Amino acid sequence: MMRRYSLGVEGMHCAACAETVAKALMSVKGVRKAIVNIATERALIETEDGVDFRALALAVENAGYKLATKTLTFALDKPLDDEATKALLRSNGVIAVEVSQPEKSLPAATLVRLHYLDGVISQSEIQRTLQLLGFEAHPVEVSTPEKPAVEEAQTAWRRAWIGLAISLVVMALTMLPSLAYQLWSGWLAFALTTFVVFWVGTPFFRRAWKAALNLNATMDTLVSIGAISAYAYSTWLLLASQLAHHLPVGHLYFDSAAFILSAISLGKGLETRARAIATSSLHQLVRLLPSKATVVRNGSEQTVPLAEVQVGDLVMVRTGERVPVDGLVISGKASVDESLLTGESEPVVKSEGDEVLGGSLCVDGFLQVEALRVGETTFIAQMTRLMDEAQASKPSMQRLADKVAGVFVPIVLLLATATFVGWLMLSGNLTKAVIAAVSVTIIACPCAMGLATPTAIAVALGRLAQMGILVRNAEAMEKAAEITSVVLDKTGTVTQGQMEVVAIWSPKLDEAKFLQIAASAERSSLHPIAQAIVREASKRGLEILEIADVRSEVGLGVTAKIVGSRKV
């Protein structure tokens, strides 16, 4: 049986990186398909049952990258033996298990820390595995996936602006007639550029070296070669002038080395920020789930982390709270807003025997819900998984761009070498040959080719998600450009998703007075109709009256007492 997983990948910076990761994943036994998206930093893989996820993580690590993991710590009631450790490591998605002794303040025999792949196994599944192995396990610490890409972008942002500021000074030292060709200004430019090259440029050099060890060439390879060439050649000119008894210094290219690294570092920061914004909007559904839930255990209500809710638990949901799990209503009655999940703008009345979806909002009433699906099996988790797969999928235009970008770096290196040799042979001028080769290397960096298409797709998917439109496959979005007609199957599909007051009728009161009383009674309600009435009163500048004895009847409305008046 084939299974699909969406995995986060850390350390990628260009299309060549994505191709390298895809090849590493495909090299593992049992992997039938691997698509890596540089814009979303995720890999979509199709595997046979029994694939070794630790082998997957090792293959990616050997290629110079890393699969994104989460860390989870459990307090156990007894020591973890070797057999139990091996059983945990056999669980799909568990990468490493660490055992330590707990602090004295913690009533536990052993602490076990697990590193696992999010999207392959969940916290509840790991806890259930420990319980089946005979352990009483309590979560102590849950870490969200680290954000090395975001942190790296922030660091790159700072480095880029400082580097650009220094580059302007270097440019003045090497290009202004009153300063250029002076030995002292050359050495000052050398000192400033050395700082930029080895501070701003270190991440590029480190990634290029890592790629070279794996016999790969990436965008970082081109940037590193271009910057180091300009820096090394200018340093050689400066030393030659010093050794030749202070002869006039030739034109130096320290400014080129500094600007190359600073400008591309700034571009990396902008790229990562754009990707982060697009990706965060795609995962807004996950934020609908509360972090905690109220459950009934041993005859009393307890507030527990959402990850500890298990199938069969009785969950309490009150007015204003979001339903934490997919479940069956055991008792109670409430109006539930499912608009962000189903698109239905009007709240649905739920009572005994009805199913509710995790993430929906209880706008009015009270429900006791038996948990049927938790964690990765909930409707909202499945929708999120589909969105992850949509991000990782590639339309035909992106596959073409990736193929070209994958062979582009080696071709550029060959062209740069040919340019250097050609200029040197034809002109006999080393300076011209070096500058021409560096120009080819830098100008041909395939950043835009490998990143423009996936970034555009990620931004489009994010914008569609914000508008309530979920796309299961990026290729479907590409084909949508060919649509000529749209057929809608129900009334109310094309709306703003927000109710408005369009007419007011009262047999006794005038329109403004009737609206004022209604808005006063409804002002504390979360129901969409109530909120529409309050908004309309606000638009008309009507004063909200003081009320008391507010009572809500699910599916019927509210009754209240206007202070100094009669009930309405």
Helix (H, G, I), strand (E, B) or coil at 326: strand
Our answer to whether residue 489 is catalytic in this structure is: yes
Under DSSP, is residue 407 helix (H, G, I), strand (E, B) or coil? helix
Rounded distance between C-alpha atoms, residue 512 and residue 509, angstroms:
8
Q: What is the DSSP letter of 178?
A: T
Give me the torsion for CA of 149, 152, 158, 161, rounded to 10°.
-70
As a whole number of angstroms, the longest Cα–Cα distance in the chain is: 106
**Percent composition of the chain: helix, strand, coil (DSSP 3-state, to 5):** 50, 20, 30
Q: How far is it, in rounded angstroms, from Cα 208 to Cα 96? A: 28
User: Which residues, in sequence order, are CB contacts of 313 under 8 Å at separation 6+?
Assistant: 295, 296, 297, 325, 370, 371
* CA–CA dist 456, 275 (Å, integer): 9
With tokens 């698109």, the residue in question is 343
Q: Which two tokens stand for residue 19?
A: 């191709």
Helices (H), 283-378: 339-342
CA 93 from centre of chain: 20
Looking at the DSSP bridge assignments, the partners of residue 42 are 8, 37
The catalytic residue among 49, 489, 510, 549 is: 489
Which positions are catalytic? 489
